[in-house]
Amino acid sequence: MRDATVEDQTVLVSDKGYGAVTHLGPNLELRRCALVLRISARQLMLLGPQLTNCFVDVKRKLHNVKWLDAYLERRSPRGGQATRVRRSGGMPCGRSRLT
């Protein structure tokens, strides 16, 4: 998935089926989306996606994923100043709201 702006949708990243999405970016912006990751860390490629106010649901443990390649951001509902979210290393299995 690349060169797009997606808003208010569920984005499934999976290795199953025809046209399976296993990479995010470049020039991909997700706003207020639910990002469901159903692939291993080895298959996931982050090429500079921008996630703003997204909910990330990780179905498998992601060890050694370079989240530093992604721009994670949270904005207040009233249009306040953006806060850059810093992540390092992998994200554990489970759910995470960008906070």
Give the integer Cα–Cα distance in Å for 58 and 39.
9
Q: Which pLDDT tens digit goes with each residue over 40-90?
A: 888 888 899 999 999 889 888 888 777 777 888 887 665 555 544 444 344
Residue 9 counted as domain residue: yes
Residue 81 counted as domain residue: yes
Give the integer Cα–Cα distance in Å for 64 and 31.
25
Q: pLDDT band for position 19 (50/70/90)? A: low
Please check the confidence at residue 21 and state whether its pLDDT lies above 60.
yes
Q: Residue 55 belongs to what domain range?
A: 4-91
Tokens encoding 8? 């208010």
What's CA 31's distance to the chain center, in Å? 10
pTM for the model stands at 0.71
Identify which of 93, 92, 56, 52 has the alpha carbon closest to the alpha carbon of residue 75: 52
Residue 99 counted as domain residue: no
Residue 49 counted as domain residue: yes
Count of domains observed in the chain: 1
Residue 96 counted as domain residue: no
Residue 78 counted as domain residue: yes
